[in-house]
Amino acid sequence: MANRTDPLAKNIRGTNPQNLVEKIVRTKIYQHTFWKEQCFGLTAETLVDKAMELDHLGGTFGGSRKPTPFLCLILKMLQIQPEKEIVVEFIKNDDYKYVRILGAFYLRLTGTDVDVYRYLEPLYNDYRKVRQKLPDGRFSLTHVDEVIEELLTKDYSCDIAMPRLKKRWTLEQNGLLEPRKSVLEDDFEEEEEKEENEAIADGSEDEKDHRHKSPERERDRDRERDRRRDSHRHRDRDYDRDYDMDRNHDREYERERGRGGRDRDRERDRDHYGERDRDRDNRERGRDRERDRRDRARRRSRSRSRDRKRHETDDDRDRDEPKKKKEKLREDGTNHPDPEIAENNRLRASLGLKPLKM
């Protein structure tokens, strides 16, 4: 029940507001002691007191990725969904910088593109220092305007994925936003006015000096002006001459291209196709050599297999011949090594009797 979103809360970007925080980070927050003890039962009014107690900002840190109190309060704001006026008051709070950053972070998650630019861009003028907790648990020093820059330009901040934000110039083209006016623009205008006044003062001093200048200096100045004008005239004339030469050269080139362009194109095509034919011939020769090599290897393997079979048949024949001899000796006993048995077997064979079995 303590982790459930307020039933009266509206969906943000088509989903439950708490789903804007990733599930793993959300689970870490639910299991943290600060969430269970300090964020339980908070409302939009009592949330301000907890926000005023913040002394740093950050996402998760350490080996177990513990959430910071800043991240816990962000999830609590997503859970109870305070009104827009309360969030705007958070952003306009000049006394507590972490309250301002908390409101800006929540508005970046839930607000429209126009509201984000309208309420967060003025915070670029806040240069106060803030402490940020790094993922390794150490603290680093940053500024409020740097945090706002990260919210407006980065995809991730404090381990939370930022919703997609339209480009400012797109909103300006659609008439939803006015062009941004820098705070330093007034200073620039003052500097420009000061420079103009100085230029006017210098011009008046030059006029005063001009009245007291000698005729010789005036003549030298006129000669220098005439010389400068002549140099510009000569330079313009040289430019016109070079331009005419380039144009004539282009015309000759076009004429030459019209005469012999087809021949050059034909030669270029011939060289191109000739090179392509040579490449094709080289590929065919390579394929022929590979085919011949495979045929030779195949013939060698076949000859080896035939030789192996021939040797096997010869060995089988050599093994079978003694057996056949022995079988002949057993069937016909006339060739028995013993002469008496051989004689008896011949007599028995003539009488049609079986040989003696020894």
Q: Confidence band (pLDDT; 50, 70, 90) for 198?
A: confident
Distance CA 281, CA 80 (A): 79
Q: Say if CB 142 and CB 120 are below 8 A apart.
A: no
DSSP code, position 15: B
The pLDDT of residue 33 is 92
Q: Confidence band (pLDDT; 50, 70, 90) for 343?
A: confident
Q: What is the mean pLDDT of the chain?
A: 79
Return the biggest CA–CA distance within the chain. 173
End-to-end, the C-alpha distance of the chain in Å comes to: 108
Q: Confidence band (pLDDT; 50, 70, 90) for 87?
A: very high
Distance CA 193, CA 191 (A): 5
Smallest Cα–Cα separation from 108: which of 148, 144, 138? 148
Distance CA 335, CA 350 (A): 15
* Interacting residues of 117 by C-beta distance below 8 A, sequence separation 6+: 152, 168, 171, 177
Q: Say if CB 77 and CB 48 are below 8 A apart.
A: no
Q: Confidence band (pLDDT; 50, 70, 90) for 282?
A: confident
pLDDT > 90: what percent of the chain? 35
pTM over 0.75: no
Alpha-carbon distance values, 145 to 123, 142, 331 (Å): 6, 9, 117
Place of tokens 């001093």: 205
Residue 210 pLDDT > 60: no
Q: Confidence band (pLDDT; 50, 70, 90) for 213?
A: very low
Least confident interval from 103-107, 166-170, 297-301: 297-301
Residue 201 pLDDT > 60: yes
Torsion of CA 97, 98, 99, 101, to 10 degrees: 90
Q: Say if CB 132 and CB 57 are below 8 A apart.
A: yes
Chain-centre distance of CA 189, in angstroms?
Answer: 42
Residue 91 pLDDT > 90: yes
Q: Confidence band (pLDDT; 50, 70, 90) for 133?
A: very high
Residue 145 pLDDT > 80: yes
Strands 129-133 and 57-58: parallel
Mean pLDDT of 324-337: 61
Least confident interval from 103-117, 185-199, 292-306: 185-199
Q: Confidence band (pLDDT; 50, 70, 90) for 308?
A: confident
* Interacting residues of 358 by C-beta distance below 8 A, sequence separation 6+: 333, 336, 338, 341
Q: Which residue has the higher pLDDT, 344 or 238?
A: 344
* Interacting residues of 143 by C-beta distance below 8 A, sequence separation 6+: 126, 127, 128, 129, 130
Least confident interval from 57-71, 164-178, 238-252, 282-296: 238-252
Residue 273 pLDDT > 90: no
Residue 324 pLDDT > 60: no
Q: Say if CB 27 and CB 43 are below 8 A apart.
A: no
Strands 129-133 and 60-61: unpaired
Q: Which residue has the higher pLDDT, 227 or 206?
A: 227
Phi-psi region of 346 (alpha: psi -120 to 50; beta: other; left: phi over 0): alpha
Smallest Cα–Cα separation from 3: which of 72, 86, 103, 59? 72
The pLDDT tens digits for 166-191 are 998 888 888 888 887 766 666 667 77
Distance CA 356, CA 342 (A): 9
* String of DSSP letters for 190-233: HHHHHHHHHHHHHHHHHHHHHHT--HHHHHHHHHHHHHHHHHHH
Least confident interval from 152-156, 262-266, 352-356: 262-266
Q: Which residue has the higher pLDDT, 357 or 81?
A: 81
The pLDDT of residue 310 is 76
Mean pLDDT of 275-290: 81
The pLDDT of residue 335 is 74
Q: Say if CB 59 and CB 67 are below 8 A apart.
A: yes
Residue 115 pLDDT > 80: yes
Residues belonging to the chain? 358
Q: Say if CB 80 and CB 9 are below 8 A apart.
A: yes
